[in-house]
Chains A and B, each alone.
Chain A
């Protein structure tokens, strides 16, 4: 899909790769500060996403006695995941799968509409790198100053600026890792314990890992993460198409490019004055005029840089803009550009899938039962013949109570005459009916025996478990074995 616009600007296309290229050193990128609407949007997005990241673990959500009151919490110790009103138990992990599928589809949809806006604005790698570059700029100045500083010999000036920058980076990295562990434990408790050295070892461990990854990924590795480590740029090629609104250099308007004196006429030449501003602001170190590229994260800073220059040379803005491949191609052939089509087969499919899966999950969450019953038949022995010839099967009865109140459940069996039910450790209330207490918000296990007269030829029985207060009833059909089959 790469549009080769100018041959002279194409970086060494093909040809032999020498050994030195294979071991080529990374070229340090010094992104220049851009000014404009997209830079403003990025500042706002950064502020919002960072606030969300740091603030969310502190939001409280009352769930009742003995249950964590943290709005968003992955509680590994008691194997629950909390998200505001949603509570997910281990056996409901499909909701998490659904959530991930929704996230993936949303990413697909956005990519097919607007290209890599995720990469350009909201990806943590982008947000933290942006934050780190901001700090770098505060200590070392903008692009030209930074390049000068790096070339200058080590002196007091260079030393304190570098030390200050890395100290500030490490400080932010530390708070990033520290905030991460708040999502896995009760935030106030773990924050207090963390400082007094009483938090679990895993908290220190993960905070340490996140501190280091933040420091290295956002501080020193930066664009290499996107280009070499992240799978998204590869997947992206399959998701974007010529209808997607991407950050695009409109070569139909810009070419032929070249430097221009004020006295020269615009006649017979393109609008691009080859000022290189789009390259200088690029955090990925690429030239957007080479067309859509694997490295481009579509942060739109080159649009800001170019617009600023276009205003200065008194030409219309938008030489670099969100545009589609087909529109640029059509204009360069002198045809009117086709209308931007937001509703396409692909986007409609993604949107439809998002709505369908979202609705399915919402329905599931709304109609979730407040308790669950699992009856597991003993595998060994498969059945037992009693002295009078009756057949006995053993079961493990597991009652999962998802509500915050203790309950009383009635357990009985149907589906066979003269069957006898026993719950180990409990006395029968009345005709083969047991009242079993179930603790609040937990799983209770009972050992259950069922005895059936020798003559009855059955292969299944039904366990009926009902809540004595609410009348909710669950019937569980389980196998009954009465001979070697």
Chain B
């Protein structure tokens, strides 16, 4: 690295690079040997890596990137890992398959296993709509409270999970269909406005007794067959209680008007077939433990 033609710095006696900026010249110290050798080694490793691993992206004329001698593929590894995990879960979960839901919830070991499994499954599959811990959102019911449109028992939750809600491909799905009273022309907007007052009056929130009076005929004719005379709802028909403080699609006058005019009829997919039986059972126990299980 030394070159006899290079100028020498008079203070240190060392060679300089010969470049000078504003009279400051750089000493031509060699790189530390350990550093240099480490650098050479990394170059060697890079070459070996390029031979063994996928390194060169698809070039024109080549269909794909170079696979490398080791034929490594992260994509394949991930799917392999997922199938391995599923197999492992399957074998760990046979205990869940044989036990009843009640047994799973009361047996310490089974419960711990099911809750741990359910928590991760819930995060992966359910929390997108229902929120972490089942906190719910507008249109997606809270799973941690004691208000259940269909059934809040262990078995009921399992059925809902398996068959979904208004999941038309599943014969056993939970089903109810409120008519689109305004949209389909059964009632006029004025009538629906009055009915909205009537619904508000069920939870003592109406300030227009005349409108309530006008709507009472329509309530009996159109609504009470499903929601009940007092508006208490009916689980067997999937009709919600209209007297409580829980409103899935909002409790404002505008929200209720829209619900009657357009109807809501939201969906939950059937999980049978997507998740294995043990996973569904674990999820049922987990959802039941969130706070509102019956």
User: Which residues of A are in contact with B by a Cβ distance under 8 Å?
Assistant: 16, 18-19, 22-23, 378-382, 384-387, 389, 392, 394, 424-426, 437, 444-445, 447, 449
Please, could you name 13 A-B residue pairs with CB atoms under 8 Å apart, sorted by A?
Answer: A16-B13, A19-B2, A19-B30, A22-B32, A23-B33, A384-B145, A386-B147, A387-B145, A387-B244, A387-B245, A387-B246, A425-B105, A447-B115
Given the contacts A387-B244, A424-B289, A445 and B145 also touching, CB distance less than 8 Å = no
Structural contact, A381 and B246, CB atoms closer than 8 A? no
Contacts of A449 in B (CB 8 A): 291
10 A-B pairs with least C-beta separation: A381-B135, A16-B13, A380-B132, A380-B133, A424-B289, A384-B145, A384-B144, A425-B105, A380-B135, A386-B146
**Using an 8 Å CB-CB cutoff, how does the interface string of B140-181 with A read, 1 for contact, 0 for none?**
001011110000000000000000000000000000000000
Contacts of A379 in B (CB 8 A): 132-133
Give min CB distance, A213 to chain B, whole Å: 18
Given the contacts A392-B291, A394-B133, A384 and B142 also touching, CB distance less than 8 Å = yes
Structural contact, B131 and A385, CB atoms closer than 8 A? no
Structural contact, B133 and A445, CB atoms closer than 8 A? no
Residue of A nearest to B133 (CB): A380
Contacts of A378 in B (CB 8 A): 133
Contact with A385, one of B32, B134, B145 (Cβ below 8 angstroms): B145
Residue of A nearest to B145 (CB): A384
Give min CB distance, B128 to chain A, whole Å: 14
Structural contact, A381 and B29, CB atoms closer than 8 A? no
Residue of A nearest to B105 (CB): A425
Contact with B133, one of A22, A381, A425 (Cβ below 8 angstroms): A381
Contacts of A18 in B (CB 8 A): 13
Structural contact, A384 and B292, CB atoms closer than 8 A? yes
Structural contact, A392 and B147, CB atoms closer than 8 A? no
**Using an 8 Å CB-CB cutoff, how does the interface string of B32-69 with A read, 1 for contact, 0 for none?**
11000000000000000000000000000000000000
Give min CB distance, A13 to chain B, whole Å: 16
Give min CB distance, B108 to chain A, whole Å: 7
Per the 8 Å Cβ criterion, residues 240-293 of B in contact with A are 241, 244-246, 289-293
The verdict on B112 contacting chain A, using a C-beta distance below 8 Å, is yes
Give min CB distance, A104 to chain B, whole Å: 29
Given the contacts A380-B133, A394-B290, A447-B289, A16 and B12 also touching, CB distance less than 8 Å = yes
Contacts of A385 in B (CB 8 A): 145, 245-246
Structural contact, A424 and B105, CB atoms closer than 8 A? yes
**Complex Cα distance A81/B246, Å?**
52
Contacts of B291 in A (CB 8 A): 384, 392, 394, 449
Per the 8 Å Cβ criterion, residues 197-244 of B in contact with A are 241, 244
Contacts of A394 in B (CB 8 A): 133, 144, 290-291
Structural contact, A386 and B112, CB atoms closer than 8 A? no
The verdict on B7 contacting chain A, using a C-beta distance below 8 Å, is no
The verdict on B111 contacting chain A, using a C-beta distance below 8 Å, is yes
Residue of A nearest to B288 (CB): A424
The verdict on B14 contacting chain A, using a C-beta distance below 8 Å, is yes
**Complex Cα distance A393/B237, Å?**
31
Structural contact, A23 and B145, CB atoms closer than 8 A? no
Given the contacts A392-B291, A447-B289, A387 and B147 also touching, CB distance less than 8 Å = yes
Contacts of B132 in A (CB 8 A): 379-380
Give min CB distance, A426 to chain B, whole Å: 8
- Given A380-B131, A394-B290: 16 more A-B contacts, CB < 8 Å: A16-B12, A16-B13, A19-B2, A380-B132, A380-B133, A381-B131, A381-B134, A382-B135, A386-B146, A387-B241, A387-B245, A392-B291, A394-B291, A424-B111, A425-B108, A426-B106
**Complex Cα distance A424/B107, Å?**
11
Contacts of A389 in B (CB 8 A): 245
Contacts of A19 in B (CB 8 A): 1-2, 30
Residue of A nearest to B11 (CB): A16
Give min CB distance, B189 to chain A, whole Å: 32
Point out which of B1, B241, B245 has the most chain A C-beta atoms below 10 A from its C-beta: B245
The secondary-structure label for the interface of chain B is loop
Contact with A437, one of B14, B108, B144, B292 (Cβ below 8 angstroms): B108
Structural contact, B136 and A381, CB atoms closer than 8 A? yes
**Complex Cα distance A394/B133, Å?**
10
Point out which of A378, A381, A386, A392 has the most chain B C-beta atoms below 10 A from its C-beta: A381
Give min CB distance, B58 to chain A, whole Å: 37
Contacts of A22 in B (CB 8 A): 29-30, 32
Contacts of B293 in A (CB 8 A): 424
Structural contact, B146 and A387, CB atoms closer than 8 A? yes
Point out which of A16, A378, A387 has the most chain B C-beta atoms below 10 A from its C-beta: A387
**Complex Cα distance A382/B145, Å?**
12
Residue of B nearest to A422 (CB): B291
Residue of B nearest to A394 (CB): B291
**Complex Cα distance A444/B12, Å?**
70
**Complex Cα distance A449/B14, Å?**
77
Give min CB distance, B109 to chain A, whole Å: 10
Give min CB distance, B293 to chain A, whole Å: 8
Residue of B nearest to A386 (CB): B146
Contacts of B105 in A (CB 8 A): 424-425
Residue of A nearest to B32 (CB): A22
Residue of B nearest to A389 (CB): B245
**Using an 8 Å CB-CB cutoff, how does the interface string of B89-120 with A read, 1 for contact, 0 for none?**
00000000000000001101001100100000
Contacts of B112 in A (CB 8 A): 445
Point out which of A379, A394, A437 has the most chain B C-beta atoms below 10 A from its C-beta: A394
Structural contact, B106 and A425, CB atoms closer than 8 A? yes
Given the contacts A23-B33, A385-B245, A392 and B145 also touching, CB distance less than 8 Å = yes
Contacts of A382 in B (CB 8 A): 135
Residue of A nearest to B1 (CB): A19
Contacts of A23 in B (CB 8 A): 30, 33
Contacts of B115 in A (CB 8 A): 447
Point out which of A23, A379, A380, A437 has the most chain B C-beta atoms below 10 A from its C-beta: A380
**Complex Cα distance A19/B6, Å?**
14
Residue of B nearest to A437 (CB): B108
Give min CB distance, A291 to chain B, whole Å: 27
Contacts of A447 in B (CB 8 A): 115, 289
Structural contact, B108 and A386, CB atoms closer than 8 A? no
Contacts of A16 in B (CB 8 A): 12-14
Contacts of B106 in A (CB 8 A): 425-426
**Complex Cα distance A191/B27, Å?**
57
Contacts of B14 in A (CB 8 A): 16
**Complex Cα distance A385/B146, Å?**
9
Give min CB distance, A396 to chain B, whole Å: 10
Residue of B nearest to A449 (CB): B291
Structural contact, B111 and A392, CB atoms closer than 8 A? no
Give min CB distance, B106 to chain A, whole Å: 5
**Complex Cα distance A22/B133, Å?**
64
